[in-house]
Amino acid sequence: MPGVRKLRVAVIGAGAAGLCAARHLLSRPDTFAAPVVYELTKNIGGTWVYEEKVGHYEDGSPIHSSMYRDLRTNIPKEVMSFPDFPFAKHLSSFVHHTEVRKYLEQYCDHFRLRDYIQFGTSVASVNPVSVKDGWNGLAWNVTSNNGLDHSKSTTERFDAVMVCNGHFYDPYIPAIPGLEKFKGALIHSHDYRSAEPLAGKSVVLLGAGLSGLDIAMELSNVNAKVILSHGQKPLTCPLPPGVQQAPPVTSVLDDGTLEFKDGKKANPEVFMFCTGYNFTFPFLDEKVGVKVQEHLVWPLYKFLIPPAYPSLFIVGICRAICPFPHFHIQSQFVLSVLDGSFRLPSREDMEKDIELDIAARRARGIATRHILKLDSEQWAYNDELAHLGGFKPLPRYWSNLYESNKVFRARDMLNYKTHNFTVLDNMEWKVHDVNGQQLQKPLAVNKQI
Ligand SMILES: Cc1cc2nc3c(=O)[nH]c(=O)nc-3n(C[C@H](O)[C@H](O)[C@H](O)COP(=O)(O)OP(=O)(O)OC[C@H]3O[C@@H](n4cnc5c(N)ncnc54)[C@H](O)[C@@H]3O)c2cc1C
Ligand SMILES: NC(=O)c1ccc[n+]([C@@H]2O[C@H](COP(=O)([O-])OP(=O)(O)OC[C@H]3O[C@@H](n4cnc5c(N)ncnc54)[C@H](OP(=O)(O)O)[C@@H]3O)[C@@H](O)[C@H]2O)c1
Ligand SMILES: *[C@@H]1O[C@H](CO)[C@@H](O)[C@H](O)[C@H]1NC(C)=O
Ligand SMILES: *[C@@H]1O[C@H](CO)[C@@H](O)[C@H](O)[C@H]1NC(C)=O
Ligand SMILES: *[C@@H]1O[C@H](CO)[C@@H](O)[C@H](O)[C@H]1NC(C)=O
């Protein structure tokens, strides 16, 4: 128990997750001292801070954001927002990325978070320390550098650390035999900014996640000839003009030709990896034992807490989720753990829980690299955390509206971003297409509970 001493929490990163963590910590001055938020760059917003340049900032650190010039959100603003801070009313449902950055600036100002952020400060190491009087006998040394200048490092002591460093900035490039023999241009979607430089070119895109699909549409608009190479079931919805599908690229032949899994070949001018990102926590003490293997971060109780060091929280590693509300729920859950309103199980019980959970997912045929993909399970996860932590769950319309948008996207990825949604009450919402026609809702609302 904290007693009279307030808990000091460090937050690593001032993207959407770090801001959300700070917002909740500051709302509880009874229990928590003002947080320290460490932010590597000069800006809040992380992913939503578009950088035209690729490569490195002036100070030599790698450019963080994977944002491209014309990106619009793939989640309607009605459910993309933090539940306690809606997007501006005048905006349509799918906004340009500049509006999301503005929104995060407004969130930051509204909850007066800026004074607690140390800009231009990169966390270099996070080390657990045994103490007599701390939370569960544990404290944390957080060592940070001013910029990348390692000669001026500072160490501060905290009761807990929330890791919010983002997970879409370190490109994952699969090992493809012979890749070095490819003679055209190789690029990862992290370094994609706009379609014009690829106008009219032949392009193989590897990976049909949201980046692969969205970039295929952008390239189609500039008359590129695109082969979308991926390992999922062939897409059945209408594809953009000039886009064909192929199975994954499996090797590059001696003359630089790409070979697909079905034996067919292509010799494009550009080979673009839309293959996603690696998780990376370069500052975490190895002693903590958090491992990344095949896109799984492990072992974490409720995808958040290493059982052996339960005052460390790795926020936002789940995939195929609705990010801002997810951070909102996870942050409040962290507070409930730290203030004692939710008592964590013993280390052994948490380890058991993780083991069983992963085994159950594997038994359902889920590959290791997909274990963190919550998808439709995110709603039960959110509700469980709210229940355990004793705080307000998301409004009832949230899951139904979000899942319905996914159905619209699967049916028509070319046009779903022209829809406008309207929330009517805690349960109901409606949606209009670009002509102002009200559309039929694709999923029944679960009226129980
Ligand atoms: C191309 C793209 C499109 C997306 N579109 C959508 C969308 O439409 N809707 C949606 O809801 N989500 C979308 N997302 C997901 C998006 O990542 C989340 O919305 C959200 O921005 C994640 O926030 P975060 O705080 O976890 O990470 P980030 O936004 O990446 O922020 C992490 C912050 O931590 C800082 N940092 C990292 N390491 C350190 C360190 N060692 N020390 C100090 N600071 C550090 C970084 O500088 C950064 O500011 C998209 C993502 C991508 C890549
Ligand atoms: N607002 C928008 O419209 C928009 C646009 C782009 C991105 N985003 C967001 O950005 C985030 C990152 O998305 P992302 O698409 O870059 O990453 P991602 O979701 O991790 O998708 C990467 C894809 O690449 C595939 N892949 C990896 N290696 C492969 C290989 N060797 N062969 C074939 N396929 C391979 C993966 O398939 P497996 O899973 O089978 O390995 C996966 O489908 C997501 O949160 C997404 O929502 C949003
Ligand atoms: C933590 O920091 C203090 C003060 O800088 C230092 O004396 C101590 O050795 C550090 N402990 C660990 C485990 O890093
Ligand atoms: C990213 O992950 C791949 C495979 O998981 C690995 O080979 C590669 O070394 C990782 N890259 C970095 C920079 O950690
Ligand atoms: C969606 O809503 C916005 C804001 O109210 C409006 O400007 C826009 O015209 C609407 N678009 C459609 C397709 O209804």
Let me know if residue 405 belongs to a domain: no
- Within this chain, do residues 237 and 326 fall inside the same structural domain, yes or no? no
- Within this chain, do residues 254 and 319 fall inside the same structural domain, yes or no? no
Q: For atom 3 of ligand 5, which residue has the closest CA?
A: 92
Q: Give the total number of structural domains in the chain.
A: 2
CA angle (63, 67, 69) in 5-degree steps: 115
140 CA distance to ligand 2 middle (Å): 34
Tens-place pLDDT, residues 417-442: 999 999 999 999 999 999 999 999 99
Cα 153 from Cα 150, distance rounded (Å): 6
- Of 222, 251, 273, the residue at which a domain comes to its end is 273
- Within this chain, do residues 183 and 285 fall inside the same structural domain, yes or no? no
Test site for ligand 4: of 275, 278, 291, most ligand atoms within 8 A of the Cβ:
278
Test site for ligand 2: of 50, 214, 275, most ligand atoms within 8 A of the Cβ:
275
- Within this chain, do residues 266 and 349 fall inside the same structural domain, yes or no? no
- Within this chain, do residues 217 and 141 fall inside the same structural domain, yes or no? no
In sequence order, which residues have a C-beta less than 8 Å from that of residue 174 and are 6 or more positions away?
Answer: 206, 273, 275
Q: 46: helix, coil or strand?
A: helix
Tens-place pLDDT, residues 303-331: 999 999 999 999 999 999 999 999 999 99
pLDDT band at 133 (very low <50, low <70, confident <90, very high): confident
Which ligand neighbours the alpha carbon of 230 most closely? 2
Closest CA to 240 of 261, 264, 262, 213: 213
Q: In 3-state terms, the chain is what percent helix, strand and coil (to 5)?
A: 30, 25, 45
- Within this chain, do residues 137 and 269 fall inside the same structural domain, yes or no? no
- Within this chain, do residues 207 and 152 fall inside the same structural domain, yes or no? no
Check whether 1 has a pLDDT greater than 60: no
Burial class (CB in 10 A: 0-12, 13-18, 19+), 356: exposed
Cα 206 from Cα 249, distance rounded (Å): 7
% of residues, the chain, pLDDT over 90: 94
For residue 156, give the H/E element and its range. strand 149-158
Instruction: Report the DSSP beta bridge partners of residue 284.
Output: 126
- Within this chain, do residues 289 and 262 fall inside the same structural domain, yes or no? no
Given the CA of residue 125, which atom of ligand 3 is nearest to it?
14
Let me know if residue 325 belongs to a domain: yes
Burial class (CB in 10 A: 0-12, 13-18, 19+), 172: middle
- Mean pLDDT, range 194-202, rounded to an integer: 98
Let me know if residue 413 belongs to a domain: no
Q: How many CB atoms lie within 10 A of CB 115?
A: 8
pLDDT band at 151 (very low <50, low <70, confident <90, very high): confident
Is beta strand 270-273 parallel, antiparallel or unpaired with respect to 202-206?
parallel
- Within this chain, do residues 17 and 105 fall inside the same structural domain, yes or no? yes
- Within this chain, do residues 200 and 319 fall inside the same structural domain, yes or no? no
- Of 273, 308, 330, the residue at which a domain comes to its end is 273
- Give me the CATH number covering residue 288: 3.50.50.60
- Mean pLDDT, range 372-376, rounded to an integer: 97
423 touches ligand 2 (CB under 6 Å):
no
Q: For atom 13 of ligand 4, which residue has the closest CA?
A: 170
Ligand 3 residue neighbourhood (C-beta within 6 Å): 127, 129, 141, 155
Cα 285 from Cα 308, distance rounded (Å): 13
Check whether 148 has a pLDDT greater than 70: no
Q: For atom 10 of ligand 5, which residue has the closest CA?
A: 92
- Within this chain, do residues 139 and 165 fall inside the same structural domain, yes or no? yes
The pLDDT assigned to 74 comes to: 98
418 touches ligand 5 (CB under 6 Å):
yes
Let me know if residue 49 belongs to a domain: yes
Check whether 447 has a pLDDT greater than 70: no
Q: For atom 4 of ligand 3, which residue has the closest CA?
A: 155
Q: How many CB atoms lie within 10 A of CB 347?
A: 14
Check whether 449 has a pLDDT greater than 50: no
Let me know if residue 417 belongs to a domain: no
CA angle (150, 152, 158) in 5-degree steps: 95
Check whether 398 has a pLDDT greater than 60: yes
- Of 335, 357, 389, the residue at which a domain comes to its end is 389
Check whether 448 has a pLDDT greater than 60: no
Amino acid identity, residue 426?
N
Let me know if residue 434 belongs to a domain: no
Cα 15 from Cα 43, distance rounded (Å): 9
The pLDDT assigned to 312 comes to: 98
Its domain, for residue 64, covers 9-169+278-389
Total-model pTM: 0.97
The pLDDT assigned to 146 comes to: 84
Let me know if residue 183 belongs to a domain: yes
The pLDDT assigned to 59 comes to: 81
Given the CA of residue 172, which atom of ligand 4 is nearest to it?
1
- Mean pLDDT, range 118-126, rounded to an integer: 96
pLDDT band at 445 (very low <50, low <70, confident <90, very high): confident
Tens-place pLDDT, residues 59-105: 888 999 999 999 999 999 999 999 999 999 999 999 999 999 999 99
Check whether 195 has a pLDDT greater than 50: yes
The pLDDT assigned to 2 comes to: 47
Average pLDDT, the chain: 96
Let me know if residue 400 belongs to a domain: no
- Within this chain, do residues 284 and 257 fall inside the same structural domain, yes or no? no
